[in-house]
Amino acid sequence: MEQVTYPAIITQTASLTKIYFPDLPDASVEDADYDRALLRAKIGLALIISDLQSHHERVPQPGTNMHYPRSSKDKIMLIQTDLDQY
């Protein structure tokens, strides 16, 4: 089991949840349902990292959330996923 954790910026409106990974923007997702957005973010994070690894490309290290610009409506959450699960 290979667990990884990356910070994500979560923006919610009345109709949409956006989850953005500053270190891995290709893993970012949008969904009308918060729980589904979170699940899709975990899966996307695992798939992007696995793809980078399989192509022998550099996988960015998780940054510290202090460096990420955000609005007062955004929140930062650490999202963990199991690379072996997906």
User: What tens digit of pLDDT does each residue of 24-34 get?
Assistant: 999 999 999 99
pLDDT digits (tens, 9 = 90+) for 30-54: 999 999 999 999 999 999 999 999 9
Q: How far apart are the first and last CA of the chain?
A: 11
Residue 81's Cβ-count burial label (10 Å; 0-12, 13-18, 19+) is buried
The DSSP code for 32 is S
